[in-house]
Amino acid sequence: MPAFINLFHTKLPHKPTINHTIRPTFTNLNKSTFTNANMTDSTYPLTNPPTDLSAISQIDTSVLFPTFTVPDAWDLGCLLRSRLSTFPSPTVISITLANGTPLFYTAVHPGITPDNSHWVARKSATVLRFGTSTWYMHNKFQGDEKAFADKYCLQEKAKEYAIHGGGFPVRVKGVEGVVAVIVVSGLKQQQDHQIIVQTCRDFLDGVGEGDEKRKED
């Protein structure tokens, strides 16, 4: 038999199984929280975020990561996805470095459209330009996009930014500025914001780096 025919008789190795489970270090959550998404309301409790600018700013700057690596982004993104899966709305999660490198991107539930990606890009641009959460910018201008655009002379570039909650800065202890951006799009804007905040805090508590300033509150 010609040598080239032998290639078709060669037994190929089995494709390895990829384990996509989240590291258990910070996912010891109540399993009853994660129920079927076909519900009218989520079983994951979200508190109302503050609307006072000083309170929002304190949260933005005090949620500090000890490091922010590719595995960190993956695990944080998976934890966010688990919680968002309890909401009936289709949502998008995006985690990118400040230089634009994507670390995590996924959709939760069917129904995502290209418009969600547009919102992700606009929220991310706001966080990177102003160094704060989009929820902060929303409350600073009371949701008035024209006032926001006029204040910063954005003119035709105003469409590149969004002042709706759901964009949050990732800060690393000892590092100046924003290291990465977390964006959630698909829920009500206050929910988009708050689920990021609560998940980041639980993530940090789980890896033993809980926010000391928050514990004093």
State pLDDT tens for residues 148-207. Answer: 999 999 999 999 999 999 999 999 999 999 999 999 999 999 999 999 999 999 999 985
CA 161, CA 163: separation in Å to the nearest integer?
A: 7
The domain made up of 46-216 is a member of CATH 3.30.450.150 = yes
Q: How far apart are CA 29 and CA 82, in angstroms?
A: 10
Which DSSP string do the residues of 161-182 spell out, in sequence order? Answer: ---SS-EEEEEETT--S--EEE
Domain ranges of the chain: 46-216
pLDDT over 60 at 33, yes or no:
no
Q: pLDDT tens, 94-149?
A: 999 999 999 999 999 999 999 999 999 999 999 999 999 999 999 999 999 999 99
Strands (E), 112-172: 167-172
b or e along 122-159 (b: 16 or more beta carbons within 10 Å of the residue's beta carbon)?
bbbbbbbebebbbbbbbbbbeeebeebbeeeeeeeebe
CA distances from 46 to 23, 86, 108, 176, 182 (A): 24, 12, 18, 30, 17
Average pLDDT over residues 31-54: 66
Can you give the pTM of this predicted structure? 0.77
Tokens of residue 63, six digits = 């949620």
Task: Name the band, by pLDDT with cuts 50, 70 and 90, for residue 24.
Answer: very low
Which residue from 118, 90, 122, 87 is spatially nearest to 106, judged by alpha carbons?
90
